[in-house]
Amino acid sequence: MLKIIIPGIPIAKHRPRFARRGKGTTTYSDQETEEGLILWHVKQQTNGHKLFKDAVLVDTKFFMPRPKSHFGTGRNEGILKSSVSKYHIKKPDTDNLVKFLFDIFNGSVWKDDSQVIYEVSEKIYCGPGEEPRTEVTVKKPDECWMQEKDNLNPSKRVLLLRRRI
């Protein structure tokens, strides 16, 4: 099992960019700086860990910063309003957050993201005093998990994965 914590506001994958070069066009990434920074954090935490070469399970939690509008003003300054949600249901989309991470993990955590057979992701707001971050747990599926998973309906599979990872 490997657990990686990446500090900072989670970053989503951008759409590819195109530029004219002579008679043709070329694509480029406008996120190379962010990719390099995240890769540095990943390498610091995976130092000495071998690449996963077989199937993997991935559990990802994105902790997003709360906007100022979630907190009271005046004498209630700094106090979370009771009407706000725990879950972050605004942009960026969860699939783009996952895509950005998985592209960086290719060659640093696993050979290729096609090895991911089961992925659960959650996008929530930070708790009081918490900093924005991304927490990723990567694990090999064991035989017990595979047998239990096959006997459950889809909604219970998520609960089983949470308990196992």
Query: CB within 8 A of 57, min separation 6: which ones?
Result: 116, 117, 118, 119, 138, 139, 140, 141, 145, 161, 164, 165
Q: What is the CATH number of domain 2-41+54-164?
A: 3.30.1330.70
Compute the distance between CA of residue 31 and CA of residue 36 in angstroms, rounded to an integer: 9
Q: Would the pTM count as exceeding 0.85?
A: no
Q: How far apart are the first and last CA of the chain?
A: 8
Alpha-carbon span 165 to 158, nearest angstrom = 11
Cα torsion angle, 21, 27, 31, 37, sign: negative
Instruction: Give alpha helix (H) positions in 8-51.
Output: 32-45
pLDDT in tens, the chain (165 residues): 999 999 999 998 876 666 777 787 776 666 677 888 888 999 999 888 899 999 999 999 999 999 888 888 888 888 888 888 888 888 999 999 999 999 999 999 999 999 999 999 999 999 878 999 999 999 998 855 666 666 666 655 555 555 555
Sketch the domain layout of the chain as residue ranges. Answer: 2-41+54-164
